[in-house]
Amino acid sequence: MISLTLAQLAQAVRGQLRLAGSDAPDTVVSGLVDTDSRLIGPGDVFVAKPGETTDGHLFVPAAAEAGAALAIVERHVDVDISQVVVADAVASLADLARFVVARVREDGDLRVVGITGSNGKTTTKNLLARILQDEGETVSPRASFNNEVGAPLTMLRVAESTRFLVSEFGASAPGEIARLAGLVEPDIGIVLMVGLAHAGGFGGIEATLAAKSELVRALRPGGLAILNADDARVASMAAPAAERGVAVRWFGRGASADVRADDVEVTASGTAFVVSCDGESLPLRLRVLGEHHVMNALAAIAAATALGVSLAECVARLETVELAERWRMQPLGSDRVRIINDAYNASPDSMAAALRTLAQIVEPGQRTVAVLGAMSELGEHSAEEHDRVGLLAVRLGIQRIVVIGPDARRMYLEAVSQGSWDGEAIFFPTADEAFDYLVGELRDGDRVLVKSSNSAGLRFLGDRLGESFS
């Protein structure tokens, strides 16, 4: 965080400053800001956020012992540390993020890029951050820090020397992206796709479209919207962009896109394609598994080139990326039995993309195995979409389908009903039972996809399988 006096910080969050020890209103703080006391170090600021299972105020003593300079609290805690008492700790976190980013913009050359979409946000964020970090100090989210807490925490890592802030905006209900993006008014906004991820919270695909459009409406006038030309719903956001006085830059696979991919070839070692941008074309070999990541790479290139990075530099830097993020199309195991752990998140679109990748990367004599768990937050669409996954697995010719957990059982039932099979699909209530089966079942040449939403916990099963066959 930038350097602020205790008095300035208290004013920014509209709180009451209560000093401790030798601190004075003009005492300066400049450490990191976090809600996790385990990550607090000397000079940091601890935000005591009430939670569903515990209360951050219980950890103020631990933060003080770790050397925190200040605690932001909703009630005063009897600990020898200066505190700012606020009405709402999460709202104050947002207020502080808004203040800090505005101050850096005022005094420096900070450019802000916001990313949203039903799928691909974290991968795109990582690819873009990789390109930009060689241009100047770049701040981007850890993991998927994209909600009302994670996004402001990322923003608060901005310092006076920061040149680029890449923010990821997720949402489970209307209005959340507008609030988060409104904290920083991005210069550039990337919208990747509109799908059924979190549809249960939004109330349907059209409501999801309206929510994702909030990023375009939050861009500062004169900014740039980078839109997926291949997604009709995303393409419709050109209208609100024009209303906002925002230019549009298109990415996609079609000839009309400003940043385009041609000659796409998917293999077990990554995806090769030719990227064309502003009249220039270069080959790119992306080591991140999956054809769907081509679009994420195009979006990152569209943003980076708009910020002045050459296409050649974009390509060279992207080719150094080996893994988008842990548990996202992460290769584990060995050449003998390859495990692809993609179980950090799942939606109908990402599930279909992962299954298609599995079908594309096998060579003659190799077997495809899909280990599948439930997709969460689909609301009334859940039953239908789980059926679709089971049907798709059959139509792609996946040779062994292992479905885990009662919430995913419909995938298994649909696979059995659609395929004239004899034991190719199997169901297990728990991951432990599936692990025991798979350890004995997998053989040389198998290519295994592990895919589910985070809540299903199959990412840990993927790790166990990777270790067993390493």
3-state secondary structure of 32: coil
Question: What is the token pair recorded at 160?
Answer: 């006076």
Q: Are 60 and 48 in contact (CB under 8 A)?
A: yes
CA 250 to CA 379: how far, in whole Å? 32
CA 215 to CA 212: how far, in whole Å? 6
CA 430 to CA 413: how far, in whole Å? 17
Q: Which residues does the annotation place in the binding site for ATP?
A: 117-123
* Cα dihedral value 343, 345, 348, 352, nearest 10: -40
CA 416 to CA 421: how far, in whole Å? 7
In the block, residue with structure tokens 């910080």: 9
In the block, residue with structure tokens 């090769």: 272
Give CA angle at 51 (48, 54), nearest 5°: 90
Q: In what order do the strands lie in the sheet with 70-73?
A: 16-18, 83-85, 70-73, 45-47, 33-34
CA 228 to CA 458: how far, in whole Å? 30
Q: Which residues does the annotation place in the binding site?
A: 117-123
In the block, residue with structure tokens 């034991």: 423
CA 442 to CA 153: how far, in whole Å? 42
Give 48-52's long-range contacts (Cβ < 8 A, gap of 24+): 48/72, 48/73, 48/74, 48/77, 48/89, 49/89, 49/90, 49/93, 49/149, 50/74, 50/89
3-state secondary structure of 1: coil
Partnered with residue 328 across adjacent β-strands are: 325
